[in-house]
Structure 1
């Protein structure tokens, strides 16, 4: 199955022209020809079956055969706010695997102990697109620009979530995600940097209604903790 990301396509289109990059990949790399069937996703739930009419390496023309909206729409919404790792390869690994498992929104947050203060959103976007295609999904996760933890608190305070949680390593009573997150919910999970959230940050999160959670007895790296939370939510909603 050959899947292409086409964010500009509309459900009423009868024909569509692939972008130059996607045309080159289809014709030069995959060596597809007229009459071959391919599939398109728009990143917002649209799944399109198409046939190649004109296999041009710069502007391949397609005939749209079938359109399915809300293709395998997730039963839940997961937003992970995670401190970016010093080594961006580890952050990109998380994004790739989280997209494959299931995640709807990612926000890089800069906290007191963060080792990395800046993140190139465009670079992260280039990770989630191929991960979406590889895992045959029709929904592209939203990747937000990096903001401070305080800015994040202010931005999402008015948004409605079924549960708001914070994973941290400080002492105190904690629960497992599966014990406090109901199925088919809208979840927000905070994951701190390698040095963990500061005491003041944890106190502020708790005062705002974030529930402390445990991801197990092992001390996990930031990207591992973030991915573990995605997996636990995915299993909860399986």
Structure 2
């Protein structure tokens, strides 16, 4: 069964224009048809259509099911790629894999200074529905690296992917299972020496994602996949 997104289905029993149009115009849903909803907060709902309006489809909730969160969080802070399509691809695939939070960081060598958050939000919602993850990824606005570090209160493990020296330990050797992870991914030209000094001073551990030099968006996916693999078989205590 296909899922439709509604952030607060118990407060407002009407779907968005986009979801309503898809259900009523494309799928030809009728009054009384059952649909599945998710709120992006770990809950799914079985609902019944009460008003098949293509602009504001009304529904009635029949049952609710809750999914427990996993025992770890993955937060990737990534420099936006010059090509917006590549950033959108990263968001889509990372959300399919269950990433919890994405921050966009402006570094000295970043080539893009503006991003379309609305498009990224749509990609994250679409990926959440497709993967049946039930937890929506939080996407944060673009912020310069210094401000991000100064305002971040992450209490778990902190890493920064770095390829300049080739002496860094692999990420998979450093990740502690069942622990929250914040991983910084720099631009195509990597972090500058000054930024590396800032990362070291801010208790970020420099790590490698492998022998090959990866594009920014590929590095982000590799980091998410690595943390997920390390946590296979572990549950929240």
TM bin, normalised by shorter chain, reads: over 0.9
Tell me the residue number matched to 1:143. Answer: 139
Q: Which runs of 5+ in 2 are unaligned?
A: 233-237
Tell me the residue number matched to 2:41. Answer: 44
Supply the distance in 1 between the matched residues of 2:56 and 2:143 (Cα, whole angstroms): 38
Supply the distance in 2 between the matched residues of 1:204 and 1:59 (Cα, whole angstroms): 50
Tell me the residue number matched to 1:162. Answer: 156
Tell me the residue number matched to 2:235. Answer: none
SS of the aligned residue for 1:144 comes to strand
Could you report, residue by residue, the CA deviation over 1:81-109 in whole angstroms, capped at 9, with x for unpaired residues? 00000000000000000000111111111
After TM superposition, give the deviation of residue 72 of structure 1 in Å.
5.0
Aligned residues: 232
Does residue 61 of the first structure (1) align with residue 43 of the second (2)? Answer: no
Supply the distance in 1 between the matched residues of 2:229 and 2:34 (Cα, whole angstroms): 33
* Aligned partners of 1:162 and 1:181 also within 8 Å: no
Supply the distance in 1 between the matched residues of 2:60 and 2:118 (Cα, whole angstroms): 30
Q: Which runs of 5+ in 1 are unaligned?
A: none
Tell me the residue number matched to 1:8. Answer: 8
Instruction: Using the TM superposition, name which of 176-185 and 81-90 deviates more.
Output: 176-185
SS of the aligned residue for 2:172 comes to helix
Matches within 5 A, 1:19-98: 19-69=16-66, 71-98=67-94
Instruction: Using the TM superposition, name which of 60-69 and 215-224 deviates more.
Output: 60-69
* Aligned partners of 1:173 and 1:212 also within 8 Å: no
Instruction: Using the TM superposition, name which of 146-155 and 113-122 deviates more.
Output: 113-122
SS of the aligned residue for 1:57 comes to coil
CA RMSD of aligned residues (A): 1.5
SS of the aligned residue for 1:17 comes to coil
- The runs of at least 4 consecutive aligned structure 1 residues that moved more than 3 Å come to none
After TM superposition, give the deviation of residue 180 of structure 1 in Å.
1.6
Tell me the residue number matched to 2:204. Answer: 210
After TM superposition, give the deviation of residue 220 of structure 1 in Å.
0.3
* Aligned partners of 1:72 and 1:138 also within 8 Å: no
TM-score, normalization by structure 2: 0.93
Supply the distance in 2 between the matched residues of 1:84 and 1:227 (Cα, whole angstroms): 14
Tell me the residue number matched to 1:125. Answer: 121
Does residue 106 of the first structure (1) align with residue 74 of the second (2)? Answer: no
Does residue 191 of the first structure (1) align with residue 185 of the second (2)? Answer: yes
